[in-house]
Structure 1
């Protein structure tokens, strides 16, 4: 039994409609139904009677409802107290970021953040999305900038910020290196460096979808994990790479970054950047950070 299951039970009891209850929690109805079934299995009783036309509370559901509300209130009070103690001891916000956000967003947000909140200290953890999300759930990170996964954990909030622009990284000596833009068709015979889909599905799929949208097949010459490694391989002449524009901030010698020409295919292939945090948590430091981020969002998006 966990707090998420109890919150789903309470929301459903207040609406007696799984769809509306799920909407109030910003999760899918199927997710809410699964959470309630797991709670019922744990307790060994049915909390709702479900038919194709209605949802009603059982006697057991009615009897435990107030206890469920009390448990959720206690859990929230416990968490708020713990966070208040941390804030009182040290004004530290633990921020996770994928590599492009660490290179582009974080450096631009630190100065206005320091001006607005001079006592706030930021600890930055740079990792892939698949490693950042568990840290949010465990409480070792307060907020993370990431690519939202296809299947989103209902215990996390994902707030889409904007879409990052894709550019082509290529050696300065390459024949296309001084064009204003590059068409995907011009890359049809070029060897490409792409990340492994298991660890970077969004970046991998971006390259593949761009080529598919142009009716072409990507010629993958090398798989590499980290953006720094990918750009270094470009500099070494291993191949070209399609990367987020903020990757240019890595400033590897001998590499240029050229925008892709705008087409239907490039407009549909997007890299979402989102802010994520644990659902149902209260954190004044995170709220302060998000307030500064909101004020800088337009300029950040323009640079991405």
Structure 2
């Protein structure tokens, strides 16, 4: 019996909705449904009844849900115990970060942390929130700087850090490039380059929200996955993009980053995330330092 299959079953059983359960686990509904079916085949019994409109537990499913919760809690506690033992022997912290945090907050944070804890080795992973959170749950990361999800997994703990200021990226030959500030109204006829919503929901929704609040339709010309790709497309003159200000630290020729007018200055949330209920002295040290110095970091966000 696979623990991952059990986690999928518990999420589906608690939500009684495969779409919401899949979103909670950052996976596709089809994959979640396949894992639940594999668990049913492994156990030789039907755990859920599914129709196009509803999901319900069978009697065996209700019994398994109670036992599975206890088993997963015990497994997570055991994994946390041995991760902590290993960390005490080797002072290593594995930190994940979304791209804008990796370009902006993280270098400052790690510079300060290295001065205070030169004995600690930091291993870095840069990726999207939807890929970093599963790494936390599986124990492959100890701490992550992410966009807080709309429906946070109860096995993770989140601490809001700051809001990243959004700016407009335009080609340096664009008519708006000489301005110090622009309003969304100035972009009403501009083709937009936006991130794919599934991988970057906060950034995607921010652009859509700003245009909706201005009473304008967003003219999406291109959807791209990576922030660096978006900025490179801007440099070719394909369109403009609304991005976190820290993106301006990415070395890209031919791009200007312009502040939004105060009335349009919407911001992007950044949070620290870690596995709930785990003890980790090194992680706690870096969190304590991060919270103490947060006002200084936030001034540049």
TM-score normalised by length of structure 2: 0.75
* TM-superposed deviation, 1:251: 2.4
1:198-237 equivalences in 2 (<5 Å): 198-237=198-237
Change (3 A) 1:152 1:288: same
Cα deviation 1:203-236 (Å, max 9, x = unaligned): 1000000000000011111111101001111111
Query: Which whole-Å CA distance do the structure 2 matches of 1:200 and 1:127 have between them?
Result: 11
Match for residue 41 of structure 1 among 63, 87, 93: 63
Structure 2, unmatched stretches of 5+, are: 8-58
Tell me the equivalent position of 1:154.
Answer: 154
Match for residue 280 of structure 1 among 277, 280, 296: 277
Change (3 A) 1:157 1:232: same
Cα deviation 1:244-303 (Å, max 9, x = unaligned): 00000102111111110011xx35x43110111111111111001101211221121111
Tell me the equivalent position of 1:96.
Answer: 96
Please give the secondary structure, in 2, of the residue aligned with 1:303.
Answer: coil
Change (3 A) 1:172 1:149: same
In our comparison, the structure showing a higher alpha carbon Rg is 1
* TM-superposed deviation, 1:42: 2.7
Query: Which whole-Å CA distance do the structure 2 matches of 1:256 and 1:75 have between them?
Result: 47
TM-score normalised by length of structure 1: 0.74
Could you tell me whether the CA contact under 8 Å between 2:196 and 2:223 is conserved in 1? Answer: yes
Tell me the equivalent position of 1:248.
Answer: 248
Query: Which whole-Å CA distance do the structure 2 matches of 1:204 and 1:107 have between them?
Result: 25
Query: Which whole-Å CA distance do the structure 1 matches of 2:253 and 2:281 have between them?
Result: 42
Tell me the equivalent position of 1:294.
Answer: 291
1:19-58 equivalences in 2 (<5 Å): 41-42=63-64
Query: Which whole-Å CA distance do the structure 1 matches of 2:73 and 2:260 have between them?
Result: 50
Query: Which whole-Å CA distance do the structure 2 matches of 1:297 and 1:242 have between them?
Result: 24
Structure 1, unmatched stretches of 5+, are: 6-36, 46-67
* Count of matched residue positions in the alignment of Structure 1 and Structure 2: 246
Query: Which whole-Å CA distance do the structure 2 matches of 1:72 and 1:154 have between them?
Result: 12
* TM-superposed deviation, 1:81: 4.1
Change (3 A) 1:232 1:82: same
Query: Which whole-Å CA distance do the structure 2 matches of 1:131 and 1:104 have between them?
Result: 20
The RMSD of aligned alpha carbons is 2.8
Change (3 A) 1:114 1:191: same
Could you tell me whether the CA contact under 8 Å between 1:79 and 1:281 is conserved in 2? Answer: no
Query: Which whole-Å CA distance do the structure 2 matches of 1:208 and 1:75 have between them?
Result: 39
Query: Which whole-Å CA distance do the structure 1 matches of 2:111 and 2:66 have between them?
Result: 54
Tell me the equivalent position of 1:107.
Answer: 107
Could you tell me whether the CA contact under 8 Å between 2:180 and 2:259 is conserved in 1? Answer: yes
